Amino acid sequence: MVIKNVAVIGAGTMGSGIAQVFAANNFNVTLVDTEQTYLDKGIKTISSSLDRLIKKNSITADQKDTTLKNIFTATQLDSIPHDTGLVAEAIIESKSAKLSIYNKLNDIVNQDCIFASNTSSISITELAATTRPDRFIGMHFMNPVPMMQLVEIIRGYATSDATFDIIKQLSISLGKTPVEVFDYPGFVANRILMPMINEAIFALFEGVASAQDIDTVMKLGMNHPMGPLTLADFIGLDVCLAIMEVLYDGFNDSKYRPCPLLKKMVAAGKLGRKSKEGFFKYD
Ligand code: CAA
């Protein structure tokens, strides 16, 4: 199956990054979100990311223009072309919200269309169950999508070999490195990363060190490009909490209990960069 048209559902941090990568590789992208303001913000994020790539001499101004021209924005799912070959879903980490989107999409796009979820941790098998389990897969990109090489590819219980092969080749054609992981809570990336971030929040909560010093230890001691608390702000504290809750519910193991400080900050609307304040403040 040759995929030319891709639909990206969700114009947030991850969805706009995914749309950018497909559009930069000459796919026709329909970027869908519920409000035009979200779409405008997503296009602005894409444009500034492309400007950074121009500054690095990674792309030309013409390539930026072509990439943006390859993206069509829409606030209605039924604006998605019937001959779309891939839907990449990147909406909030809510199973019910995702299932509702897939059920609507099932009647809009053709039967060959593959559904790929960018979910950070929710079971692909469960997400696939109500629509097209053989043509459903996890395609888990890393933030910031234009910069990060990894795509975790997660088969659901019924994902076909053909679907897996198409998505693996597609990831490579995007210049990414696909890694197959199995469908268990958190897959690999967040099964390892998020408990580390949660532990950093516990260290802050228990007064082991300041937020700045916790991040300094991991940057200078472990050569991490970002400290765990800065990274949590970058990912979004609401996303971090949702992932910890999936791990906690999925494994029924208290070691995955979310830190009370994380829960309190999310409840207070301190979500990190996207709310201009998390463990640190942002302009
Ligand atoms: N678009 C284009 N270029 C970008 C960019 C973007 N979004 N972000 C950074 N860059 C470029 C910058 O222009 C810069 O280029 P030069 O070095 O040539 O000037 C380069 O990348 C480095 O950027 P910065 O100088 O801003 O800062 P940095 O050196 O720290 O790199 C970073 C930024 C790549 C984000 C780096 O900090 C990093 O790798 N952080 C860790 C990110 C990470 O762990 N991501 C995974 C999170 S988990 C996840 O995403 C999955 C999930 O389910 C939650």
**For residue range 180-208, what is the model confidence (pLDDT) as tens digits?**
999 999 999 999 999 999 999 999 999 99
**Cβ(13) to ligand 1 under 6 A?**
no
- The fold of the 5-182 domain, in CATH, is Rossmann fold (3.40.50)
Q: What is the pLDDT of residues 151-180, one digit of tens each?
A: 999 999 999 999 999 999 999 999 999 999
Q: How far apart are CA 91 and CA 238, in angstroms?
A: 13
Q: Which of 89, 123, 140, 171 is catalytic?
A: 140
User: pLDDT tens digits, residue range 62-116?
Assistant: 999 999 999 999 999 999 999 999 999 999 999 999 999 999 999 999 999 999 9
| Strand extents, DSSP E, the chain | 5-9, 28-32, 71-74, 86-89, 114-117, 136-141, 150-155, 177-181
C-beta 148 within 6 A of ligand 1: yes
Bridge pairing between strands 150-155 and 136-141:
antiparallel
Indicate the average pLDDT of the chain. Answer: 97
| pLDDT per position as a tens digit, 108-126 | 999 999 999 999 989 999 9
pLDDT score of 1 more than 80? no
- Which residue do the tokens 């779309």 mark? 84
Is the distance from the beta carbon of residue 56 to the nearest atom of ligand 1 less than 6 Å?
yes
Q: What is the CATH number of domain 190-275?
A: 1.10.1040.10
Q: Is the pLDDT of residue 273 over 80?
A: yes
Residue 224 annotated in active site: no
* Nearest CA residue ID for atom 53, ligand 1: 120
Q: Is 230 in the pocket of ligand 1 (CB under 6 A)?
A: no
All structural domains of the chain with their residue ranges: 5-182, 190-275
Structure token digits, residue 166: 């198409």
Of the residues 118, 152, 171, 198, only one is catalytic, namely 152
**What percent of the chain has pLDDT above 90?**
98
**Considering 16, 117, 120, 121, which one is annotated as catalytic?**
120
How far apart, in whole angstroms, are the C-alpha atoms of residue 70 and residue 283?
A: 31
